[in-house]
Chain A
């Protein structure tokens, strides 16, 4: 890291009551580049971002923003300067936070109080280093912040939102017109200026959120989980935007649960349970996994069996499906290139070393996946030749607008079917029609051979549903949630108890059973939602973005159970924005502008877009290529 630190955190601790959100976090954010803030949910990412935005005051330690190191973005010179006094004019006082810094310096504290004071004195002399709260007070346009849900006024139009933030940040007149033009072009929101913010798609909301945060040309841009719930296309756009900002000299902090996003940052801070696990260049961390990552081409051709075998084998830190192959991460790099079944006796296949990714190193760092086999493989549904899910010409119209047009597909027993598509493409509409939440304008759908429209009651009894937001009754205890959903599907007495016990044990919920559901961490909520959907042994499982915002390890566990179940004959319909999940699908359909634009196995889709310069496209590239091709063929 050769860039000077723009923000320094020294021994920062943050406590909410008795709950410690951050413990002794020491890290620095280099100026003029994108810093990734990664970690599982409840790691303290949001708390850290809020501390930097001056919305919270640390209970311990100090945060210093070296304003001198924060360069004004190139090309943004002279913008938003109206209200700002020149930096040198700012009278800087020693921070009271310093004096109240760690009251009880623990033994082995890396930065003793004396040193901290000395360092602070230097900064004060330099006249440029302030805690975030004072930065906000004295240099109001210095920090741009986008909170988790974008912080937009949904009843106001795109333009209204922009104007509000522009006025608050004293950007006006000619200057405002220029910056608006730039931003609208930059975010591609120009055609939508009169649309209400609430009517924008997730990706567009996000861009607008960033545009609002960018008004007044901040030197430090804080983005809290901008990638959640956004399709790959929008995420790629967003990344490009942020990269351009960083190239122009802006310092950006990007908080995310997704490691593929973090991998692209030149600098990452990895948090877990409020502590820093790693800080530095991602490549350095990734290097720790070098020589331990392999792609296995299954011998028998059945990748799911191979995956299961890998996940249960000794010495495996991570295993997931990637196209037709299974990617494994070993705890120890093998002495020699493993031959067939050399180091993993139960796995049949051809091993090929592949370059490591940040995620591999992350999984190694967290101690790897839970290798116990999923007990959900037990029992099996009566075999059936009929498709478990069948859609025939499903169409949904709202007035003149066709949200879903003539959607047809079928999912055989034991298969996973993915519905993919950008935000607002008709994916959710289709999904809602398939599970009976929305009546199609025309067409039919069948669940386990039963028509959902004529015998909805019976059809619904055969499906399990897990909603995006993990819809649970949050005020009541975990076991009551389980009981309610069990009883709703006609379970009772001994059978209900048995299922509840099995699922609670399988999904590691036993110790939480009596707790109010709202106290569960996100990962546990997700598992509880799955348990609720599985109580009645459904033949079909509907998953609506089942892992959004959940970290990698929890995701692996989740898919372990899902793939285990498909072996008993359960069919799964899943919508997702997350391309790793798409890899688990046996086949999938890409929904765009209300139509299925392409359908097939992941490999087939990839093959269809493979080209000379990119012979092995990733799922994400495939997705984007398909949509771009469709746009070219069907101009609006």
Chain B
């Protein structure tokens, strides 16, 4: 008696799995035949990786400035020379102050260094104001770097010329753990994986149910024996695999192309990514079941998925520095947790004290989202 029951159960399970398999295969075939999936899952990640890996760097490299030497004295010449040979600056020639200011206003140069006509004497006397630096403050970051570099350059020149190389009273010895050169690529590239997985998880899936509604295939599916759970998993599994594949490709590119260190272990990366992907997919599918038109779904996906993952996840802007209300709001953002985990697993290693709370938060968000999807995915048209 018992054995027949288990046999019946097994048969039922087998049937259930076969139905699910049919849906998964269907979805995969659709993905393969849809050009937009290549665009979002292939081209976009490649572009983003390239831009974040090669293009964008938060480290300042060279800056255009002009130098106005009003004194023409020998020490001034030395200073000009020092600026011209500095790797941080590119000196744009300017005939006079007017010309320089015009360059400045038109954003051709970021700063003007003015060596006043009494430069030589002033330096000799240690007077203030012999060197004036006008910095384009529009971009505050760059401005600070210019200030710091210029001051350093002058200080070094002064030390060299007077021979009074005096060590600072308290020397600050900064040491960057996990990222010794403080190379911003090391944190931008793992961060861009968050954005890429959000793209696949949220933006691409936000369209899937809406598309079926618009094309009328959803109605046909609802009339089949496929259950809600099967319909849901039928969407979830293929996109999950796609997201994981894309993550692995990105991680490989990060390590082998962009030489980002990978200090954690692969299985931890896989675990973290799958949890994050579930939340991202939950978000995308929720948008998808709630909207029913592609246009609306796409916009919702963009505004609730992509932009927050880019700007509010701590990827570009530091969360701790945001206003308090916004910090609270980011607690609902799965990308925020994943970002932290990725930076840690790449640069620091398997640090469970970081992962566990993050995973807990992501799991809670993911479970809530998927539960909402399941609740909103009805097998009837009138609810």
Interface residues of A (CB under 8 A from B): 16, 50, 53-57, 82-83, 133, 136, 140-141, 143, 145-156, 160, 163-170, 172, 196, 212
When distances are taken between beta carbons in the complex, the residues of chain B under 8 Å from A165 are: 224
B216 A156 Cβ-Cβ under 8 A: no
A57 B380 Cβ-Cβ under 8 A: yes
B19 A160 Cβ-Cβ under 8 A: no
Cβ proximity bits B287-312 to A, threshold 8 Å, 1 near / 0 not: 00000000000000000000000000
Q: How far is the CA of A53 from the CA of B379 in the complex (A)?
A: 11
User: Given A146-B220, A147-B219, A155-B33, is A55 in contact with B23 using a C-beta cutoff of 8 Å?
Assistant: no
30 A-B pairs with CB atoms under 8 Å apart are: A50-B219, A54-B380, A55-B219, A55-B379, A55-B381, A56-B382, A83-B15, A133-B380, A136-B225, A140-B225, A141-B225, A145-B223, A146-B220, A148-B216, A149-B215, A150-B216, A151-B217, A151-B221, A152-B220, A153-B217, A156-B26, A156-B29, A156-B30, A163-B25, A166-B22, A168-B19, A168-B23, A170-B18, A170-B225, A172-B18
Q: How far is the CA of A146 from the CA of B221 in the complex (A)?
A: 10
When distances are taken between beta carbons in the complex, the residues of chain B under 8 Å from A54 are: 223, 379-380
Q: CB-nearest residue of chain B relative to A167?
A: B22
B29 A168 Cβ-Cβ under 8 A: no
B341 CB, nearest partner CB in chain A, Å? 36
A164 B26 Cβ-Cβ under 8 A: yes
CB contact list, B193-223 vs A, under 8 A: 215-217, 219-223
When distances are taken between beta carbons in the complex, the residues of chain A under 8 Å from B98 are: none
A56 B381 Cβ-Cβ under 8 A: yes
B264 at the interface (CB under 8 A from A): no
Q: Which among B216, B222, B382 has the greatest number of chain A C-beta atoms within 10 A?
A: B382
B223 A168 Cβ-Cβ under 8 A: no
B72 at the interface (CB under 8 A from A): no
B21 at the interface (CB under 8 A from A): yes
When distances are taken between beta carbons in the complex, the residues of chain A under 8 Å from B382 are: 16, 55-57
Partner among B19, B29, B216, B221 whose Cβ is within 8 Å of the Cβ of A155: B29
B242 at the interface (CB under 8 A from A): no
When distances are taken between beta carbons in the complex, the residues of chain B under 8 Å from A152 are: 217, 220
When distances are taken between beta carbons in the complex, the residues of chain B under 8 Å from A170 are: 15, 18-19, 225
Starting from the known contacts A56-B380, A153-B217, A155-B29, 8 additional A-B residue pairs (CB-CB under 8 Å) come to A53-B223, A55-B379, A56-B382, A153-B26, A154-B215, A168-B19, A170-B225, A212-B220
Q: How far is the CA of A393 from the CA of B271 in the complex (A)?
A: 67
B105 CB, nearest partner CB in chain A, Å? 47
When distances are taken between beta carbons in the complex, the residues of chain A under 8 Å from B23 are: 164, 168
A156 B22 Cβ-Cβ under 8 A: no
B171 at the interface (CB under 8 A from A): no
When distances are taken between beta carbons in the complex, the residues of chain A under 8 Å from B380 are: 54-57, 133
A21 CB, nearest partner CB in chain B, Å? 10
Q: CB-nearest residue of chain A relative to B382?
A: A56
When distances are taken between beta carbons in the complex, the residues of chain B under 8 Å from A82 are: 15
B219 A151 Cβ-Cβ under 8 A: yes
Partner among B29, B216, B379 whose Cβ is within 8 Å of the Cβ of A151: B216
Q: How far is the CA of A147 from the CA of B224 in the complex (A)?
A: 12
A270 CB, nearest partner CB in chain B, Å? 24
Q: CB-nearest residue of chain B relative to A56?
A: B382
B220 A147 Cβ-Cβ under 8 A: yes
Q: How far is the CA of A170 from the CA of B18 in the complex (A)?
A: 8
B26 A147 Cβ-Cβ under 8 A: no
B212 CB, nearest partner CB in chain A, Å? 9
A506 CB, nearest partner CB in chain B, Å? 35
Partner among B34, B225, B379 whose Cβ is within 8 Å of the Cβ of A168: B225
When distances are taken between beta carbons in the complex, the residues of chain B under 8 Å from A212 are: 220
B226 at the interface (CB under 8 A from A): yes
Q: How far is the CA of A16 from the CA of B383 in the complex (A)?
A: 10
When distances are taken between beta carbons in the complex, the residues of chain A under 8 Å from B217 are: 151-153
B22 A147 Cβ-Cβ under 8 A: no
Partner among B15, B33, B223 whose Cβ is within 8 Å of the Cβ of A147: B223
From DSSP, what is the main secondary structure of chain B's interface residues?
helix
Cβ proximity bits B6-31 to A, threshold 8 Å, 1 near / 0 not: 00000000010011011101100110
Q: How far is the CA of A82 from the CA of B8 in the complex (A)?
A: 12
User: Given A149-B215, A151-B216, is A55 in contact with B21 using a C-beta cutoff of 8 Å?
Assistant: no
Cβ proximity bits B94-134 to A, threshold 8 Å, 1 near / 0 not: 00000000000000000000000000000000000000000
Q: CB-nearest residue of chain A relative to B30?
A: A155
Q: CB-nearest residue of chain B relative to A152?
A: B217
When distances are taken between beta carbons in the complex, the residues of chain A under 8 Å from B30 are: 153, 155-156
A156 B19 Cβ-Cβ under 8 A: no
Q: CB-nearest residue of chain B relative to A212?
A: B220
A17 CB, nearest partner CB in chain B, Å? 10
A167 B18 Cβ-Cβ under 8 A: yes
When distances are taken between beta carbons in the complex, the residues of chain A under 8 Å from B221 are: 151
B19 A167 Cβ-Cβ under 8 A: yes
User: Given A141-B225, A155-B34, is A164 in contact with B22 using a C-beta cutoff of 8 Å?
Assistant: yes
Q: How far is the CA of A133 from the CA of B222 in the complex (A)?
A: 11
When distances are taken between beta carbons in the complex, the residues of chain A under 8 Å from B19 are: 167-168, 170
Q: CB-nearest residue of chain B relative to A149?
A: B216
When distances are taken between beta carbons in the complex, the residues of chain A under 8 Å from B21 are: 167
Q: How far is the CA of A147 from the CA of B220 in the complex (A)?
A: 6
Q: Which among A16, A83, A149, A167 has the greatest number of chain B C-beta atoms within 10 A?
A: A167
A163 B220 Cβ-Cβ under 8 A: no
A168 B22 Cβ-Cβ under 8 A: yes
Q: CB-nearest residue of chain B relative to A168?
A: B224
B378 CB, nearest partner CB in chain A, Å? 10
B223 A136 Cβ-Cβ under 8 A: yes
When distances are taken between beta carbons in the complex, the residues of chain B under 8 Å from A147 are: 216, 219-220, 223
A225 CB, nearest partner CB in chain B, Å? 12
B220 A151 Cβ-Cβ under 8 A: yes
CB contact list, B251-294 vs A, under 8 A: none
Q: How far is the CA of A151 from the CA of B221 in the complex (A)?
A: 8
Partner among A83, A133, A160 whose Cβ is within 8 Å of the Cβ of B26: A160
Sorted nearest first, the 8 A-B pairs with minimum C-beta distance are A151-B220, A140-B225, A167-B22, A145-B223, A149-B216, A155-B33, A147-B219, A168-B224
Q: Which among B217, B219, B224, B380 has the greatest number of chain A C-beta atoms within 10 A?
A: B224
Q: CB-nearest residue of chain A relative to B219?
A: A147
A164 CB, nearest partner CB in chain B, Å? 5
Partner among A136, A145, A160, A172 whose Cβ is within 8 Å of the Cβ of B29: A160
B34 A169 Cβ-Cβ under 8 A: no
Q: Which among A16, A146, A156, A172 has the greatest number of chain B C-beta atoms within 10 A?
A: A156
B33 A156 Cβ-Cβ under 8 A: yes
When distances are taken between beta carbons in the complex, the residues of chain B under 8 Å from A57 are: 380, 382
CB contact list, B66-115 vs A, under 8 A: none
Q: Which among B18, B23, B25, B217 has the greatest number of chain A C-beta atoms within 10 A?
A: B217
When distances are taken between beta carbons in the complex, the residues of chain B under 8 Å from A145 are: 220, 223
Cβ proximity bits B218-236 to A, threshold 8 Å, 1 near / 0 not: 0111111110000000000
Q: How far is the CA of A149 from the CA of B218 in the complex (A)?
A: 11
When distances are taken between beta carbons in the complex, the residues of chain A under 8 Å from B22 are: 163-164, 166-168
Q: Which among A146, A151, A152, A165 has the greatest number of chain B C-beta atoms within 10 A?
A: A151
B18 A143 Cβ-Cβ under 8 A: no
A169 B223 Cβ-Cβ under 8 A: no
When distances are taken between beta carbons in the complex, the residues of chain B under 8 Å from A56 are: 380-382
B31 CB, nearest partner CB in chain A, Å? 9
